Amino acid sequence: MADFSISEMQEMQRTLQDKYRDKWEPICPEVGQNKLLWMVGEIGEVIDIVKKHGAEDALAQEKLRKDLVEEMADVLMYYNDVMLCYGITADELKQAYTGKFEKNMKRW
């Protein structure tokens, strides 16, 4: 299976946003904070799975792993919404990520 790119995720989020534009908040900078808060809520759900069931069970038990991965997908969906709200492109993210990586590689 090929890697799943940020660009692919963003395009899927645009499609979802277009489909539900009458029901969901618009993608714009003013809504970015709300999307961040929803993303934090989803991160909490990921943490709850590991906290309640333990890291080993979250890795080994099929149902828990499925739930964990699904919650991680929710996090990524909101993450991509935030990027769209602020007009952050996959290329900008790659440059920033690469810069942080290089900085961290020289840290200690």
Token digits of residue 30: 């003013």
Q: What is the pLDDT of residue 2?
A: 82
Q: Compute the mean pLDDT over every residue in the chain, rounded to the nearest whole number.
A: 95
Mean pLDDT of 30-36: 96
How far is 71 from 23, CA to CA, in rounded Å?
A: 22
Token digits of residue 60: 């080994």
Whole-angstrom CA distances from 19 to 67, 74, 82 are 25, 18, 18
Q: Flag whether pLDDT at 1 surpasses 90.
A: no
pLDDT tens per residue, range 36-52: 999 999 999 999 999 99
Count of CA atoms in the C-beta half-sphere (13 A) of 99: 6
Residue ranges per domain, the chain?
Answer: 26-103
pTM, 2 dp? 0.89
Mean pLDDT of 27-37: 96
